[in-house]
Chain A
Amino acid sequence: MTRLESLASCFQGLIPATLFTCSRAGVPNAAFISHVEFVDGGRVALSFQFFNKSKANISENPNALVRLVDPDTSQGWRLRLRYLRSETSGPVFDRMALRIEAIASYSGLKGIFKLLASDIYEVLSVEMIED
């Protein structure tokens, strides 16, 4: 499997990622997300900013897929994920809160973007996107 560490450019947040989830009833959901945080060689964190369908789906079905783009090479990557837990404090949360604040500031969404939790996911696979 491609090492997560080698995708450092993808985690800069220059090009938004896409999060795909699915409800227990089998309804898929797709959402653009502002940031994917590298945690360690086997985990990433996604920002939880609003109570939305993605969050509801993950609470009942932990399977998720994230598509990332490396802004340096244009190569896309597909991460298959499994939700582990949410953190509302600690170093990962603090790093993400700062990043979200910066994104909100330059995208004119200050006061709307606010980190509520860092959702921690196990990375099951890393796949190169075909197109």
Chain B
Amino acid sequence: MARTVDGRPKARGEAEFVADAVEQPRLFGALLTTRTAHCRVTVDLDALRALPGVVVALDHDSVPATLYSTNPHGGSADTSVFTDIGRYPGDIVGALAARDRRSLQHALDQSAELITEQPLPAVLSLEDAFTANAEANPQYPGNVVSDLRIGADEAAAREALAACAYQHTSTTWFEPSPHGCLERLAAGAERGQDGWRVWSPSQCPALVRDLLADMFAADVRLEPVFVGGGFGGKEELTLEPAAMLLSAAAGGTRVLLESSRRQMTAAHRARHGGYIRVSTGYDRDGIFGARLVDVVFEAGPYDGHSSTVAANAANAAARLYPRGTVTARSRAMATNRLPGGAFRGYGSIQATFAVETHVDEIAARLGLDRFEIRRRNLARAGDVDPATGLPMHDIDAIGCLDQLARTARTVIATRASGEPSEGLDGWGISMLVSTSAAAGADKPDHAEVACRLEPGSGTVIVETSVAEAGQGIYPLLNRIAANALGLDRDRVLVEHDVRAGSPNDPGMFGSRGANVTGSAVLRASMALRREVLARGARLLAVAPDVVELDAEWTVIRDGQHEVKVSELDPIRVCAEYATTDPGLAFGAQLAQVRCDPRTGAVRVQRVVAVHDAGVVLDEDGARAQVEGAVVQGIGAALSERATFRPDGSIAESGFVNHLVPTAVGLPAVSVSFLPAAASTGSTTGAKGIGEAAIMGIAAAIGNAVGSALGVRARELPITGERVLRLLENTTRDASRSDDERVAAS
């Protein structure tokens, strides 16, 4: 059993939120935000400061003029901690701090009157971004935040497409969807003699520490707090600098700054909305000769993660079927609405939905089996990765598909259990491809860890700055170290260390933990073992290769003499692992649904997930990742969304109307992993699973709805109302689609 470090405290309600960790704050802070999509803002600071209990009120004039990127991995510097131009409804124009929560609430209630917003021309849709004269942010002329291409030259791809016997084009649309983390964003800050102390729930504590130290030109001690619920929602630097500014304005006193649930839902960051167009040229056997992918995501007014999310979507869409002439373009467009950000899957949920529903459509046109068309086109080892231009290696997409096909046979044969309800059953499949490192040729992914032996207790401590926020990385690292050291797991402790100068690991993102951080831990463990033997040999005055350690790590012997491990001086070794290999990981997923053709209601009855996770280091942990991802994937498929009002604001305000799946009525999930090839010895051989597992769920559900009802859902989420509308349209267009079918055959 995996020993999670957070399970017990969370189940007992003892886990600490940022607000618990920042003990006895002297000041309670909140953000001041806009309501208008695009506006010039003036804040009546004097009036705010005069309100009872208010100690600090800050706006744009109180912050350094330099812009920064909220993306801790680096990005366009386009954001001010407090802006004087509000660029989306909910943009941060200042902050308040009061002596107690009640005064703070009272001041916030008054604040709307004290923030004057002079409207500017606004970009209120993707269409506006392309056509309107307005600019969401002058930093992005033509509202283009990024425009990137991978793979073949576009003209060549178009030519190849035209040369194919058949062509198919489909466009899929996505509504944005807010984060639904358990813990709202919050931060604490205080300045002491020796610099800053900052409490942060960031997924990337080491990066945040360095960025803040840079921004404030001071030493920063970071106190990480992880209740959990990151999923990319805590991969953006927003509250920490605001908390520090509030504290600085009050002489360095301890401040707790919290966001509200409404801010988290309607104004923080969303899974990207937008559209993806896919065109495929194919022959009568369903072999793809050319593919063009066009990803257009709505960034909001700032880049943040948007350009990389859009690029990642293009990568995923291109990689699944890299054969033939493949090209993919990705654009992030600026608007004056809710910004898109990192969200589990990083654009791949959308990309997979676009590609995999498209592939099903081609299969239907040709009357080809849905497994077979994929088998004929999937990536194989040796194919060139359109994203990197390098050959793909150590992949087994077809293995995943075949294993799913075997499981599917029994699943499809048995009608799903559960409450009897009216409706039609259907099943659908989706392939997916994920990465196991946030790496590219020009930007290696890199992790450092330290391993320390405390000879007295015989305990080995793994020091890492990676965050444990419920994803189970500490039990995993514990297992890797214990195996490599040959020690009982109880003798290995994983400690979080994010002090300046400690081993640097950028954090929790990109499904990199088991591969990148894990491999660094493996190397450090092996190095520690070598060092223990070397020290023993030195004390015994023999060569290191003649000594051995007993199984319990109590003594080092050379056959005649021995030294006790407990007599060694403490040992600490550091190791690192860096890779430019994205570590492609394929998977195949199946969803079985029951659809009500008269109400459009879709219920997921069962999900089957097959993943190539490489060497599965912690089967329970990996399984838990998949099960959680399936649930979150169902939310993305069926219910989660941010609904724009005409003025660009979001109608959803919290968990009452932002519909994340709950424990009620979840489907059965069966998970299996491909038998792994051996690892190389110095690396774990593990692949990423955390994001992989969410990528195909919406596509499989979409395809299942297609098979049950004969209509194609082309927009996420697939709400009952949308399905019903599709059914009504098909009845209306029945004759035309018949003609199309004739033409295609």
**Do they bind each other?**
no
